[in-house]
Amino acid sequence: MSTQAPQLALPLPKPKYKWGGRRPGAGRKALPPERRKGLPHRSRPFHDRNHPVHVTMRLVRGIPSLRCTELARVVGGVLRKQKQRPGFRVVHVSIQPNHLHLIVEALGRDTLGRGLQTLASGIARALNRHLGRRGRVFADRYHAGALTTPKATRNAIVYVLTNYKHHRRERFAFDPWSSALWFDGWTHAPPATDRPPPAAEPTTWLLRTGWRRYGKIDPAEAPADVPA
């Protein structure tokens, strides 16, 4: 027979919170609306490989104009290296003072996202290296709009290749800081250049053939405020 005394149950204080679940005051505090910047981080929609995408990438404040010769060449150098990746292609480009316009092709949503992320990272590193600075270069997530019809695709090409008319009163017919000099869809040919193109040849039907249903593009055309 055991002579060991029984253990006494000591009263313990009831825990204030349980493990797991939501607790008052926990987590990162939400910013007030006036301090929220950039585009919301929502999941990107499905991407149809047959639909080109018009992309806008904006810079943070404090970066000099990209349309100065030195910085435009820096950006152009990165575009030439990365214009064609597996499943991702930059087909048209326009370099503006504080933003870039691109028309790209991609095999899927993930390929589109990775291709643009790699491109943005490469441009940011190159610009920071050239300017001797650190930190962010692009202000927020890129804005992307799918081009699903021949008319919308033509409007987007006009919007990108003649976008400088929105911002400057330059008098040249073909924007040298875009892919306009290598585009074969003008009503008359641009001057010849020995520079390598900053963009790749299109593969989607909409960018190769479909947009031509509405006629070649006159260099005198100007971009609409919002491409249809």
Confidence of residue 178 (pLDDT cuts 50, 70, 90): very high
Choose between 178 and 19: higher pLDDT: 178
* Residue ranges per structural domain of the chain: 53-214
At residue 121, does pLDDT exceed 70?
yes
**Per-residue confidence (pLDDT) for residue 8, from 0 to 100:** 55
CA angle 92, 72, 212 (to 5 degrees): 15
For residue 66, CA distances in Å to 74, 88, 98 come to 9, 24, 7
Task: Name the residue among 144, 152, 158, 150 with its Cα closest to residue 186.
Answer: 158
CB half-sphere exposure, 119, CA atoms < 13 A: 31
Mean pLDDT of the chain: 84
Q: Full-prediction pTM beyond 0.85?
A: no
* CA angle (123 as vertex; 122, 128 as ends), nearest 5: 100
Express each pLDDT in 194-216 by its tens digit.
Answer: 999 999 999 999 999 999 999 99
Give the HSE-up count for residue 162: Cα atoms under 13 Å, Cβ half-sphere: 21
User: pLDDT by residue (tens digit) across 67-101?
Assistant: 999 999 999 999 999 998 899 999 999 999 999 99
Report pLDDT digits (tens) over 2-56: 555 555 555 656 655 555 556 566 555 555 544 445 545 455 567 899 999 999 9
Among 81, 88, 78, CA closest to 115: 88
Say what the pLDDT of residue 4 is: 58
**Dihedral, CA atoms, 121, 50, 188, 174, nearest 10 degrees?**
-20
pLDDT of residue 13: 62
Quick one: fold of 53-214? Alpha-Beta Plaits (3.30.70)
